Structure 1
Amino acid sequence: MAAPRTVRAGRRSLTVHRPDKVLFPADGNGKEYTKGDLVAYYRAVAPFMVPHLRGRPLMLERHPDGIDGPRFMQKNVPEHYPDWIKRVEVAKEGGTVTHLVCDDTATLVYLADQACVTPHRWLSRAGKEHHPDRLVFDLDPPTGDDFPAVRQAALLLRELLDELRLPSAPMTTGSRGLHLVVPLDGRQDFDAVRAIAKDVADHLAEAHPGQLTAAARKKDRGERLYLDIQRNGYAQTAVAPYAVRAKPGAPVAVPISWDQLDDPDLDARRWTIADAVDQARTNPWAGLASRGRSLTPAARRLDDLRG
């Protein structure tokens, strides 16, 4: 067993325990990744990833024994986590939950040492928990190998969002499909945002009934791609940009440009911890955060489209 390793993360020096612990067993290409590899990736991608996490409550997906072992979905921050890690107490039914907030590189590296493979973020920020500044459409194909259907759905959804004058940006999920992210101005609450998201999904599904569905029940979808809007709710989470997924080969959820969507070699697991930092350096979502919109004018335009 390798000795603990000390790494520098921002202004802090952190100890990485059992850096040789295999978290991702060898995949079909014979490549395995260790906890040390996970730490190195999150340390390198932190300048690009932390801005997408800053101020947001997180849910932590931990795999202490690797991706083939038990999975722990952690909301409450354990007492033994360092005092310098930021926390936020938020309301839940019957009480409160104290979530972790990742505002710096050191926190991200510490989480990797805790075998947090995937951080999932809220779509709202601490202090404004009920008012999201992101809307997410999850394009979920009926089978994992049907990325052409995902690409087509993304283009159709973008076309509709453009008509509604809502900016949008795609992200591979590192799993099966794509997320389309719409920046918001944070003035409306989750109920209002989710209602409009549902109206958009319903309208697009009605326009393309053979390809798309907004049916929440899996048995009602058939072979159609599911326009999932379920993440747009209070205390719901979405996988964070540049987060590693607990899949063979350590694929990463990666923001992309609309031009990259045309690449015939693109799929949901195109990038891994071996090359996702290179993609991050291209800054495919440049300026997106400053383009937040109100959904009220979009809702009126949608009503006009629906007649």
Structure 2
Amino acid sequence: MKLTHPERIVDAESGATKGDVARYYETVAPQLLGQLKGRPVALLRAPEGVGAAGFFQKHPGKAALPGVHVLDADLWPGHEALMEVASPRAVLSAVQMNTLEFHPWNARRRRLNKPDRMIFDLDPGEGVGWDEVRDGTLLVRDLLQQLQLRSWLKTSGGKGLHVVVPLAARWPVDVVRGFSQAVVQRLAREHPERFVAKSGPANRVGRIFVDWLRNGDGATAVAAYSLRARPGLGVAMPISWDELPALTGAAHWTLANAPQHVAARKADPWAELDAYKQSLVAPMQALGYRAD
């Protein structure tokens, strides 16, 4: 596929070009596509590069991207058709149109109303240090373990961390969203000095907002292996829990060093994630949450 203006700088801090972005995504396409195939996706496009106004594209519009699959409009009643990126050609087609970030749904297109993942996005407020983010993430994991839920971890490539819980695709999105909110409210009650359950910068000064809104209808979260449209082009990187203590921050990996890290890994820390089809029956009972 022809890439126009590969020499154009997209990130002034690192000096990375559009060609560098394309080469990065070509390198990690096998891993990235494992997170995108079968799921609708939103694209964060940044025509003027990092630091300038970008926009999310959730629907194909009048000019569909070559290789990007346009899904049936009736999959999400009352909305325009959605898109799926399921091939290397589709990835590079999105990059050609200045996409920097890929944000898949938590549900697969065949069961769009029943998510197979639940995400807790730790978003630190002003004055919260990295050590506090790391320790708070462990508290999230510990509560989930108490609720009989195993979780996986990834850096956000920005400021925080994402805790990912794979599910059996049996519960409607409203139930998953409500349950995730109840989990965060429990965290905020038990650790009010660390966590807040309400969004908004003023609410999380000195504390961490654990974003449960990522689990709502039509909500998305940045894909593992996606770049972030931030200075330095951080990468959302899947990691094992054992790797957490050594991290220097949520943008520990960037476009510059992520491919080498992926190539040098002895094992994929998310290799077993999709094999876990976890039930919410016992966790809802343990939490005292009732789905109306």
TM-score by length of 1: 0.88
Aligned twin of 1:169: 152
Tell whether 2:271 aligns with 1:286.
yes
Alpha-carbon distance change, 20 to 184 in structure 1, aligned in 2, over 3 angstroms: same
The code of the aligned residue for 1:241 comes to: A
- Conservation of the 8 A alpha-carbon contact between 1:133 and 1:186: yes
Aligned twin of 1:17: 4
Aligned twin of 1:188: 171
Q: Of 31, 34, 59, which aligns to 1:51?
A: 34
Matched residues in 2 for 1:85 and 1:216: separation?
Answer: 33
Aligned twin of 1:6: none
Alpha-carbon distance change, 273 to 83 in structure 1, aligned in 2, over 3 angstroms: closer
Tell whether 2:249 aligns with 1:267.
yes
- Conservation of the 8 A alpha-carbon contact between 2:67 and 2:93: no
Matched residues in 2 for 1:165 and 1:278: separation?
Answer: 35
- Conservation of the 8 A alpha-carbon contact between 2:233 and 2:255: yes
Aligned twin of 1:11: none
The structure whose residues are more often strand, as a share, is: 1
Pairing 1:137-176 to 2, within 5 Å after superposition: 137-143=120-126, 146-176=129-159
Q: Mean Cα displacement is larger for which, 136-145 or 120-129?
A: 136-145
Match of 1:185, SS? coil
- Conservation of the 8 A alpha-carbon contact between 1:216 and 1:228: yes
Tell whether 2:291 aligns with 1:295.
no
Query: 1:219-263 CA distances to partner (integer Å, 9 max, x unpaired)?
Result: 333421111100101111111111111111111111111011111
Q: Of 176, 179, 188, which aligns to 1:205?
A: 188
User: Larger C-alpha radius of gyration, 1 or 2?
Assistant: 1
| Unaligned runs of at least 5 residues, structure 2 | none
Matched residues in 1 for 2:127 and 2:95: separation?
Answer: 27
Aligned twin of 2:203: 220
Of all paired residues, the percent bearing the same amino acid is 34
- Conservation of the 8 A alpha-carbon contact between 1:56 and 1:126: yes
Match of 1:231, SS? helix
Aligned twin of 2:230: 247
Aligned twin of 1:110: 93
Q: Mean Cα displacement is larger for which, 181-190 or 159-168?
A: 159-168
Matched residues in 2 for 1:236 and 1:144: separation?
Answer: 28
Aligned-pair CA distance for 1:113: 1.3
- Conservation of the 8 A alpha-carbon contact between 2:152 and 2:240: yes
Q: Mean Cα displacement is larger for which, 35-44 or 56-65?
A: 56-65
Matched residues in 2 for 1:69 and 1:161: separation?
Answer: 38
Deviating above 4 A after TM superposition, structure 1's stretches of 4 or more consecutive aligned residues are 90-94
Aligned-residue CA RMSD (Å): 2.0
Aligned twin of 1:34: 17
Matched residues in 2 for 1:295 and 1:186: separation?
Answer: 10
Aligned-pair CA distance for 1:90: 4.5
The code of the aligned residue for 1:299 comes to: M
Q: Mean Cα displacement is larger for which, 71-80 or 53-62?
A: 71-80
Alpha-carbon distance change, 145 to 157 in structure 1, aligned in 2, over 3 angstroms: closer
The code of the aligned residue for 1:37 comes to: D
| Unaligned runs of at least 5 residues, structure 1 | 1-13
- Conservation of the 8 A alpha-carbon contact between 1:140 and 1:177: yes
Alpha-carbon distance change, 215 to 157 in structure 1, aligned in 2, over 3 angstroms: same
The code of the aligned residue for 1:233 comes to: G
Matched residues in 1 for 2:74 and 2:214: separation?
Answer: 18
Matched residues in 2 for 1:22 and 1:156: separation?
Answer: 40
Alpha-carbon distance change, 90 to 277 in structure 1, aligned in 2, over 3 angstroms: farther
Aligned twin of 2:215: 232
Matched residues in 2 for 1:180 and 1:227: separation?
Answer: 10
TM-score by length of 2: 0.92
